[in-house]
Amino acid sequence: MPAHDHDHGQDSHHDHAHGVSRDADGRYLTLALLLLLGFMGIEVVVGILAKSLALISDAGHMLTDVGSIGLSLLAIRLASRPASGSFTYGLKRVEILSAQANGLTLLLLSVWFIVEAILRLIEPPAVDGFLVTVIAVVGIGVNLLAVWVMSKANRQSLNVEGSFQHILTDLYAFIATAIAGAIIWWSGWNRLDAIATLIVAGLMLKAGIGLVRESGRVFLEAAPRGLHPVAIAEAIRAVPSVTRLDDLHVWEVTSNMPALSAHVFVDHTVDCHDVRRTIEAMLHDQFSITHTTLQTDHTAVGGADQSAPCAFESHEKPQIT
């Protein structure tokens, strides 16, 4: 009863295509990293001089941007290594670890900024609204450029999406800070700095929850979003000569790498290997699943709960292009 892994030839081509994409992603991430790193230093100094928690929280979030992009670059490099030894999938899930680390960092920072903002609402320090406004406006420009650069990368990768969400959240945060700084400059209402910080923290909280939830789904080996095991099971059972389906599992190794395994029983009068190839082609065409492991057996004559191993293989070999 051999198990069969589908389309090794196609998989090698698929990995090569991802290699080209990963190189491009690395360039885009590096450019965004340099942009943010240069501006972050300026923002920290001005935030301290202006006594603005909103600017300092923006800088803190920008630090997580830099860290997340650096982690993403490391993850891309590690994930591109071929499978070897006990790592039969290679290090592809390092990208998911990176995404989860980004999400957890956002959650922890958001909690810290919420506490600090509440304290500042109670006793607001004097804030230099002019400095806050100028730096926030420059920050909007820097983050717009970084968002544009990152939008060119492969955002279907949860790792890249994690870094993108960091930068996008920072852009929204700078917009809120610029508005708050302008109003403080005009009216002198210093509590608005803490309110802007709460808005920034709320955005960080939302992005962090999303990243932790999505990376958690991968680690818990849930079916990828958009792939419904019930629908897949019905499609397999609808293949002619399939009599029973057991042990269906659908999971995601890493972003854009769904995998499936199942035990399929077929009528004893047909070549079960031909049926297996038909199922593999259907899974590829209808559900875009190429990493499949199907164990196929004949249903034994005289009992639905009995089975007999596939005793013969079709002489016709599948063409792999």
Give the closest residue to 146 by CA, choosing from 40, 21, 22, 31.
31
**pLDDT mean values, one per 10 residues, the chain (321 residues):** 44 38 68 82 79 74 74 74 72 78 84 88 84 86 84 68 75 84 87 84 84 87 89 93 92 84 91 91 91 88 59 43 38
- Can you give the residue range of the structural domain that contains 283? 229-309
Q: Give the model's pLDDT for residue 239.
A: 93
Q: What Cα–Cα distance (Å) separates residue 260 from each residue in 25, 51, 128, 143, 220?
A: 27, 55, 58, 40, 15
Q: Give the model's pLDDT for residue 319.
A: 42
Q: How far apart are CA 62 and CA 171, in angstroms?
A: 10
Residue 273 is assigned to a structural domain of this protein: yes
Q: Give the model's pLDDT for residue 302.
A: 61
Tokens 């190189």 — which residue? 23
Is the same domain home to 199 and 245?
no
Is the same domain home to 273 and 195?
no
Which class for 202: exposed (0-12), middle (13-18), buried (19 or more C-beta within 10 A)? middle
Q: Give the model's pLDDT for residue 262.
A: 94
Report residue 100 as tokens.
Answer: 């989860």
Residue 314 is assigned to a structural domain of this protein: no
**Sequence-distant (≥ 6) Cβ neighbours of residue 250 within 8 angstroms:** 223, 224, 227, 229, 232, 258, 259, 260, 289
Q: How far apart are CA 280 and CA 291, in angstroms?
A: 9
Q: Give the model's pLDDT for residue 280.
A: 93
Find the CATH number of the domain harbouring 35.
1.20.1510.10
Residue 271 is assigned to a structural domain of this protein: yes
Give the closest residue to 240 by CA, choosing from 284, 261, 262, 271.
271
Q: How far apart are CA 275 and CA 74, in angstroms?
A: 42
Is the same domain home to 71 and 113?
yes
Q: How far apart are CA 302 and CA 17, in angstroms?
A: 49
Q: How far apart are CA 145 and CA 136, in angstroms?
A: 14
| Residue 113 identity (one-letter amino acid) | F
Give the closest residue to 250 by CA, choosing from 220, 270, 275.
220
Q: Give the model's pLDDT for residue 159.
A: 64
- The pTM score is 0.68
Is the same domain home to 167 and 43?
yes
Domain boundary among 196, 219, 242: 219
Is the same domain home to 24 and 164?
yes
Find the CATH number of the domain harbouring 235.
3.30.70.1350
CB atoms within 10 A of CB 77: 13
CB half-sphere exposure, 178, CA atoms < 13 A: 14
Residue 102 is assigned to a structural domain of this protein: yes
Number of domains in the chain: 2
Q: What does the radius of gyration of the chain's CA atoms come to, in whole angstroms?
A: 26
**Sequence-distant (≥ 6) Cβ neighbours of residue 119 within 8 angstroms:** none
Is the same domain home to 207 and 256?
no
Residue 190 is assigned to a structural domain of this protein: yes
Query: If residue 230 lies in a helix (H) or strand (E), which one and from where to where?
Result: helix 229-237
